[in-house]
Amino acid sequence: MDRQMETDCNPMELPNNPGFEEDSDYRDFEGTDVKDMRLEAEAVVNDVLFAVSNMFVSKTLPCAEDVAYINVETRERNRYCLELTEAGLRVVAYDFDQTDDKLQTPYHETVYSLLDSLSPAYREVFGNALLQRLEALKKESQS
């Protein structure tokens, strides 16, 4: 087992890139952090857009290395601004492109959990979609 660990470590011990390229790669990585949080927010939107009236990443509020904002309008026509961080998602305002520092709402680990708590119509649409997928899988496995 020790021999395997040594083998795994060798590439790290012997970098084959000159220092300049390493610094360049590091800067590129740093520059993509903001994009990564925005990409994460876009992925969240794409996952659940079918079950809400409207949902999009805020273009007004700034994305940063550690935060992005998502606007969502539920099927009940309630509007929210959500904050996405490493801690999860939470409501930061009851309108698009807003934040209210006085609002102390709990973090949800997933967008599914957050929307489930805000919107009975979301829960119904999402549940029906899940049942349809399960039925399709059941038919596939039987054929």
User: For residue 130, what is the domain's CATH number?
Assistant: 3.30.2280.10
| C-beta separation of 83 from 67 below 8 A | yes
pTM exceeding 0.75:
no
Residues in contact with 75: Cβ distance below 8 Å, sequence separation at least 6, in sequence order: 51, 52, 53, 119, 121, 122, 125
Matching residue, tokens 């660990």: 5
How many structural domains does the chain have?
Answer: 1
Confidence of residue 35 (pLDDT cuts 50, 70, 90): low
**For range 45-50, the mean pLDDT:** 96
Residues 6+ apart with CB under 8 A from 127: none
Write down the mean pLDDT value for the chain. 82
Residue-number span of the structural domain to which 124 is assigned:
2-142
The H or E element spanning position 85 is strand 79-85
> Residue 92 pLDDT > 80, yes or no?
yes
pLDDT surpasses 80 at 27: no
What pLDDT is stored for residue 64 in this prediction? Answer: 84
6: confidence class by pLDDT, cuts 50, 70, 90: very low
> Contact, 108 vs 117, CB < 8 A?
yes
Angle formed by the axes of helices 111-118 and 19-48, to 10°?
30
Q: Which residues pair with 80 in a beta bridge?
A: 72
Nearest alpha carbon to residue 33 among 64, 56, 4: 64
How would DSSP label each residue in 5-56?
A: HHHHHHHHHS--S-HHHHHHHHHHHHHHHHHHHHHHHHHHHHHHGGGSSEEE
Confidence of residue 143 (pLDDT cuts 50, 70, 90): confident
In DSSP terms, 85 is beta-bridged to: 88
Q: Does residue 72 surpass a pLDDT of 70?
A: yes
